[in-house]
């Protein structure tokens, strides 16, 4: 093999390596720019959330120090509200079920012809 063939082979290998490094550098740069944009958006969201948290700041009162009768009354109110909501959901389900079950036999005569026959 002549000496210049080695020069061509190594030149192609070095140019390929440089091309590959340039491609990966560009790919990494695009990823970093996208990560920077996402980090900026995250910082904006955390600022909004921290402002909202400061607006909603409530004083913490441990239940251990509260009056037992007040806690019992609050718990009873909560249970009543849950029962009322559960009953409202059940009533809505029953209403939907009645709409699904009640069918006028005259609207679909082929399927319910046996219901229209008088015996």
What are the sequence ranges of the domains in the chain?
Answer: 1-58, 62-119
Return the pLDDT at 1.
81
Tokens representing residue 57 in the block:
């700041």
Residue 105 CB partners (closer than 8 Å, separation 6+): 112, 115, 116
CB 82 within 8 A of CB 74: no
Tokens representing residue 93 in the block:
């389900």
Residue 116 CB partners (closer than 8 Å, separation 6+): 105, 106, 109
Each of the 119 residues of the chain gets a pLDDT tens digit; together they read 888 899 999 999 999 999 999 999 999 999 999 999 999 999 999 999 999 888 887 777 787 888 889 999 999 999 999 999 999 999 999 988 887 776 665 665 566 677 777 76
How far is residue 5's CA from residue 31's CA, in Å, rounded to a whole number?
39
The number of angstroms, rounded, from the C-alpha of 91 to the middle of its chain's C-alpha atoms is 29
The number of angstroms, rounded, from the C-alpha of 60 to the middle of its chain's C-alpha atoms is 30
């Amino acid at each position: 093999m002549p000496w210049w063939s080695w020069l061509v082979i190594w030149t192609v290998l070095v140019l390929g390596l440089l091309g590959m490094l340039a491609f990966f550098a560009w790919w990494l740069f695009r990823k970093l720019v996208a990560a920077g944009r996402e980090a900026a958006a995250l910082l904006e969201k955390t600022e909004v959330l921290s402002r909202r948290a400061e607006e909603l700041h409530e004083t913490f009162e441990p239940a251990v120090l509260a009056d037992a009768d007040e806690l019992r009354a609050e718990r009873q109110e909560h249970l009543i509200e849950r029962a009322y909501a559960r009953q409202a959901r059940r009533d809505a389900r029953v209403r939907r079920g009645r709409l699904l079950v009640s069918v006028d036999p005259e609207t679909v005569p082929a399927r319910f012809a046996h219901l229209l026959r008088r015996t």
